[in-house]
Amino acid sequence: MTTLRVQARGYGAILGAGWRTALAYRGALMLTALTTALSLAVQLSVWNAVYDGRSGIQGYDATTMTTYLLAGNLLAVLLSNQIDDTLSGDIYRGDHVVGLLRPIGFLGSHAAVALPYLAVRLTLVVLPLLGFALVFVPLATPTVAGFTWFAVSAVLATTLGILLNLLVGLAGFITTSTWGLRYLKGTVVAFCSGQLVPLELMPAAVRGVMEWLPFAAMVNTPVRLLLGRLEGLAALHAVGVQLLWVGLGLLVCVFAWRGALKRGEVSGG
């Protein structure tokens, strides 16, 4: 019981510190909001040109596509939580050795730091952009069932984002810089998750491969649920696949952490 209390206090302190740190970088949050809005505006301009003279593409009319791109880009904001950078930085400085002596898990503490970042990004970036879009941009109206499935799926998607970033951060044990890997991760996730183009519009062979990758569960699955393009058993199956990827992600992170401790080299003070 005492151990649980100590861990609870430890995680509480981490959450509080993470919240203060996230709020301290308001300029970065404003830049994130600006770049997201500009990226979305460019994507919408391109798709408006594509839809010129067309009523729809494989069941996506212009309004549905706008809603898809908005939801996908806002969800992508929540997938970026910086723990891959902070985790690798701790490894380079050797702080993971100190972390092993604490009563709370090293990976768990970094995962906990992501939660305040998510809350701040949701409050100061996602909701304002969503509010602006609801007023000025024609959007498809989701059903209650679609929104409910989306809410559940979005939680699982952000969990996958945390696990992926933990795994990338652990690469700090085997490389002197994770910048390139983090950049590559962002590019792969943007394309393979369906953030830029719905996977349904891709060639059958490409779509068949991408739908079996975990990236599809980060954007494509939640947004299709929101739009009602997955319903009933199909929706349940999609969320089940997300749960499977979350479970596999947890196992991979645990095994990667244990393996890294056996071969890790501390660089720094």
In a domain, 112, yes or no: yes
Quote the pLDDT of residue 4: 65
**How many structural domains are present in the chain?**
1
Rounded (5°) CA angle 214-162-146: 60
Considering the chain, what is the average pLDDT of its residues? 86
Q: In degrees rounded to 5, what are phi and psi of residue 169?
A: -65, -35
Choose the weakest-confidence range: 17-21, 79-83, 131-135: 17-21
With contact defined as beta carbons under 8 Å apart, do 68 and 229 qualify?
no
Reported confidence tier of residue 165, pLDDT bands at 50, 70, 90: very high
Reported confidence tier of residue 59, pLDDT bands at 50, 70, 90: confident
Residue pLDDT, tens place only, 71-124: 999 999 999 877 888 888 888 877 776 666 666 677 888 888 888 888 889 999
Q: Which of 69-73, 254-258, 263-267 holds the top average pLDDT?
A: 69-73
In a domain, 195, yes or no: yes
Give me the long-range contacts of 186-189 (CB less than 8 A, separation at least 24).
186/80, 188/215, 189/76, 189/79, 189/164, 189/215, 189/218
133 C-beta neighbours (distance < 10 Å), count: 18
Reported confidence tier of residue 221, pLDDT bands at 50, 70, 90: very high
In a domain, 269, yes or no: no
* Spatial CB neighbours of 250, under 8 Å, sequence gap ≥ 6: 163
- How far, rounded to the nearest angstrom, does the alpha carbon of residue 57 sit from its chain's CA centroid? 27
Give the structural domain span for 16.
2-263
Quote the pLDDT of residue 173: 85
Q: What is the mean pLDDT of residues 213-225?
A: 96
In a domain, 58, yes or no: yes
For residue 38, pLDDT over 90 is answered with yes
Reported confidence tier of residue 1, pLDDT bands at 50, 70, 90: very low
